Amino acid sequence: MLRTVDVLSTSREYMVDAPTAGQRVKVELNSHNGPTLVEGVALHPAAKNHITIKLVNGYNASYPVEEILSLEILGSTPAVVESSPPQTITDSSLPRVRILHTGGTIASKVDYATGAVVARFEPEELIATLPELTELANIEAVKLGNMFSDDIRPQHWNAIIQASKQAFDDGCDGVVVTHGTDTLHISSAALSFAWGGKGEAPPGRIAFVGSQRSSDRGSSDASENLLSAVHWAAHGPAPHGDAGDGVVVVMHASNNDGICAVYPGIGVRKLHSSRRDAFQPVNCEPLAMITVENGKCSHALEEGYQALLDTNTPRQACQSPTKYETSVRIAQFIAGPWLHSEEIEAIVLTGVQAIIIQGTGLGHLPIEDPEKDAPENTKVWRALTRCINREIPVVVTNQCIHGPVDMNVYSKGRKQMQMGVLGHGSVAAPDTVIVKVHWALSNRMEVKDAVAANLCGEGNNLLRA
């Protein structure tokens, strides 16, 4: 039943019969361009003396009460249903895929009664939201947590590692890890080394997936990303191991719909804060492209990856993935005008086991004073030399992101190698190098040997021109 509510009063606050969260409303506003009509679902106000509405395009908008001319209640939108969901149907001809939910909006949906996005991690609930999944695989789901990805630490990597092992032990063909996007590429690298660091490959496909935009927005990438990740986990090629394909990241290939890219889990990075194609490869190429059309998926392997699968013997399947020591401490610095010896020496006193420095250009550090007017540089050189003499590994990565660390080109780089600075020749993504050092420290491998080795495809990537 339609009814009009006067939301204005002398105090400019809601009257008793103002809309409650979950009601569909039509609001007339006094805007800069004159009276304007907006329609959507009322949410809890984001601020005092405001009305907040989830618009039909999925965005939330708040308006001051003093700008509202009239408000019409159109009906109610039901909250998320928590009652008995439909039972999933098992098809013995389909692969078995387990979805591990760690957080993010990829496996979530909006509750219009509260305006909050809540995790939907039960298989029945996922399928109710995205029924096309039933055509790809028999879906299982496990909730490991519901965290913002910037809060994830090594103990959470270990939980994902253990859960993925359990999935394969239980007979699953593939695993999908739903994950917040901010550190998704770090966690994918962590699982890559856990399963492949000792020269093996996972017994099945592991795909990390996230979404840049929440599932309640019209521009959401959640559905296509999740469909593509499940498709890869169910129907992709068996992991080879040498191509960084033991663990992959599946996300939108462009800002448009229809195609998702499959990236090596050790060769990708989030390079944009909000675009749907935020994830891009670093010093490598995608492994495959997945086309999504009317809820149906198909994939095409990239030429280089197909050639590797055709000509090289795959690695042996790993049965016992390695873990990460949560007590490991790694310091990170950025080379530049603000790097001083005092910061390096102070952090050493905390007991760090390795130092990673994002070097400039080809991997250079401010350690020289040719004009005799920058004694700070000499102090940095001395501080790093003392670290190396104390057997604290100092590793240089590339703050340019793309391109190799090459300390042979300039005399400064050669001086760094003489000092014992590690990292020469690395083409791995900077965050991958840090995870690699952590894995080496956790598994009693010499850092210098790990940095120089190609453990699971991170050093076997084709350089871009």
Is residue 459 included in any domain, yes or no? no
Is residue 460 included in any domain, yes or no? no
Whole-number pLDDT of residue 115: 56
CATH number of the domain residue 340 falls in: 3.40.50.40
Which of 22-31, 138-147, 411-420 is the least confident region? Answer: 22-31
Residue 129 pLDDT > 80:
no
pLDDT category at 111 given cuts 50, 70, 90 is low
Is residue 59 included in any domain, yes or no? yes
Is residue 285 included in any domain, yes or no? yes
Average pLDDT over residues 319-339: 97
Buried b (16+ CB within 10 A) or exposed e, 155-188: ebbbbbbebbbebbeeebbbbbbbbbbbbbbbbb
Same domain, 100 and 65: no
Instruction: Supply the range of the domain harboring residue 226.
Output: 96-311
Which of 43-57, 128-142, 187-201, 286-300 is the least confident region? Answer: 43-57
Same domain, 227 and 118: yes
Amino acid at 24: R
Average pLDDT over residues 237-263: 96
Same domain, 306 and 337: no
Stated pTM of the model:
0.83
**pLDDT for 350-368, tens place per residue?**
999 999 999 999 999 999 9
Is residue 67 included in any domain, yes or no? yes
Same domain, 67 and 113: no
Same domain, 228 and 115: yes
Q: Which residue, among 461, 460, 463, 462, has the nearest Cα to 199 in the 3D structure?
A: 460
Whole-number pLDDT of residue 13: 45
Enumerate the active-site residues.
105, 181-182, 270
Whole-number pLDDT of residue 91: 87
pLDDT category at 4 given cuts 50, 70, 90 is very low
> Mapping DSSP to helix (H, G, I), strand (E, B) and coil, where does residue 146 land?
coil
Average pLDDT over residues 274-284: 93
Average pLDDT for the chain: 88
Is residue 316 included in any domain, yes or no? no
Are the C-beta atoms of residues 5 and 73 closer than 8 Å to each other? yes
Domains contained in the chain, number? 3
**pLDDT for 217-230, tens place per residue?**
656 788 899 999 99
Same domain, 203 and 131: yes
Same domain, 121 and 161: yes
Same domain, 303 and 342: no
Which of 23-27, 177-181, 358-362, 377-381 is the least confident region? Answer: 23-27
Are the C-beta atoms of residues 63 and 49 closer than 8 Å to each other? no
Same domain, 27 and 155: no
Is residue 87 included in any domain, yes or no? no
Q: Which residue, among 138, 298, 185, has the nearest Cα to 232 in the 3D structure?
A: 298
Average pLDDT over residues 101-120: 67
